[in-house]
Amino acid sequence: MPSEVRVPIASLADIVAARQRGRELAAQMGFSSFNLTLIATAIAEVGRNIVDFAERGEMTISMIKNGTRQGVQIVATDQGPGIADISTAMRDGYSSANGLGIGLPGARRIMDEFEITSEVGKGTTVTMKKWEA
Amino acid sequence: MSAHLGQVQKRYVLAFRQYLEKPDEVALLRAYELGRAALGDGLGVLEMATVHARAMATVLDRPLADAERARLVDAQRNFFVEALSPFELAHRASREANTVLRLLNDMLEGQAKRIAYALHDEAGQLLAFVHLAVARAASDLPPEKVGELNAVQGMLNQVDERLRNLSHELRPPVLEDLGLSPALELLADGVSKRWGLEVTVKAALNHHVPATVETTVYRITQEALTNAAKHARATRAEVDLRQTPHKIVCSVRDDGIGFDDTARRRRSGLGLVEIKERVAALGGVLRVGPNKDRGTDLTVEIPLES
């Protein structure tokens, strides 16, 4: 399996594919099954955000290294409407999340690193990482 | 089973069977979405566990070969974990919110302390100077003008008292000066003298207690004792403060006729509603119930960060 895969995201079927790729890559690196579920969950939430708000985008899932540590990185980009106020978007209760901790804020909480950049009219990029052990 | 739960159950069994037939990512995402929708509908983890157990029972309705059984054990775990994953998100969100709430409480308490200090010490001192200046001015005035200055002094005294009360409401200075246990004893002493209620205090504190918790316990004890004396016509009350590494428990028991929480007297003290809110903000619980033979037992438990 290559150490990087790109998955176009435009439908639920694409989210399924991205979750599968993410799970496979992370399993290959020795992530526990608990962490595989968290990674798949983060992909589902970020992927859903693309489908719901930008209609289409792309996810790049790759193996990353930092010294002896290795991890999985997911970069999700879209050319959708963008987010005017990121801090509001990252708060629970924004849009469909309803304060249940799901959505983008949920993905942030289960990954080790989470970054979001966005420009109105241009699109949004979410970069998240999970380190093994 | 509610109609709602029945719906979830039906969909869960269907999706679970589909996963057993074809254990792929499509079926796993289905499990995840099921859990996500159930969370949104207000179902809890225990309900999900029940739903899963019932689904297991439906697929275990016939004897299974060993290999099949082993496969089922793995499959059901994967499926169940996926369905529960949204609840993990909710759990982490509430844990984070609790931490933020605690920080916010501490910050507010810190602010209250600073304002209380500014009111009591700084503004109080300025007022004392004003008093002196007015007194000096009075000594130079003809007697017919002194009356006006007396009125000014009267108003200054009111301002002084108002400031003191405000400061005390924000953060009782006695907590700052002596700490919680002695402050409670002083409070009990004051209530005894003022209302003739016999109050005993047992306080066993051995760890540091955050300022927010101290103030809350103090306020609640104050409210409970005041109620016992003023409204419940109690003759005796007992304050019992205990601490474990993880929580602080304070009970106020009296032999009166019960807790009076009518709106009529809510103006003066904290009132039960506000006490409950304060305790809830600290993640604690409040119980108001009958004392053993007669009277009221008001017990508050507040968790401490270990």
CATH number at residue A92: 3.30.565.10
Query: How far is B199 from B193, CA to CA, in rounded Å?
Result: 10
Residue B41 with chain A: CB contacts under 8 Å: none
Contacts of residue A132, Cβ cutoff 8 Å, sequence gap at least 6? A26, A29, A30, A31, A35, A69, A70, A71, A72
Is residue A26 over pLDDT 60? yes
The CATH class for the domain spanning B175-303 reads alpha beta
Contacts of residue B212, Cβ cutoff 8 Å, sequence gap at least 6? B105, B106, B108, B109, B282
Contacts of residue B102, Cβ cutoff 8 Å, sequence gap at least 6? B282, B283, B305
Q: What is the pLDDT of residue B167?
A: 83
Chain centroid offset of residue B142 CA: 58
Q: What is the mean pLDDT of residues A62-73?
A: 93
Q: How confident is the model at residue B266 (pLDDT cuts 50, 70, 90)?
A: very low
Q: What is the pLDDT of residue B1?
A: 62
Of B24, B32, B81, the CB nearest to A44: B32
Q: At what angle do helices B66-117 and B45-59 cross, to 10 degrees?
A: 180
Domain that holds residue A62: 4-131
Residue A105 with chain B: CB contacts under 8 Å: 93
Question: Would the pTM count as exceeding 0.80?
Answer: no
Tell me how far apart the terminal alpha carbons of chain B are, to the nearest angstrom.
Answer: 40
Residue B89 with chain A: CB contacts under 8 Å: 41, 45, 100-102, 106, 109-110
**Pick among A100, A110, A112 to test the B interface (most B CBs inside 10 A):** A100
CB-based contact B93 A15, cutoff 8 Å: no
The CATH class for the domain spanning B3-96 reads mainly alpha
Structure tokens given for B247: 């929580």
What total number of domains does chain A contain?
1
Q: How confident is the model at residue A1 (pLDDT cuts 50, 70, 90)?
A: low
CB-based contact B28 A19, cutoff 8 Å: yes
- Three-class secondary structure of residue A79 per DSSP: coil
Q: At what angle do helices A12-28 and A33-53 cross, to 10 degrees?
A: 150
Picking from A107, A104, A113, the residue whose alpha carbon sits closest to that of residue A69 is: A113
CB-based contact A109 B90, cutoff 8 Å: no
Chain centroid offset of residue A115 CA: 10
Q: What is the mean pLDDT of residues B145-173?
A: 85
A79: closest CA of chain B, how far (Å): 25
In A, minimum Cα distance to B44 occurs at A100
Q: Establish if A25 touches chain B: CB-CB under 8 angstroms.
A: no
A72 vs A88, residue with greater confidence: A72
For CA atoms B192, B195, B198, B202, the dihedral sign is negative
Q: What is the pLDDT of residue B116?
A: 85
Domain boundaries, chain B: 3-96, 104-170, 175-303
Query: How far is B177 from A59, CA to CA, in rounded Å?
Result: 60
CB-based contact B93 A105, cutoff 8 Å: yes
Q: What is the pLDDT of residue B38?
A: 94
Q: What is the pLDDT of residue B305?
A: 75
Q: What is the mean pLDDT of residues A37-49?
A: 96
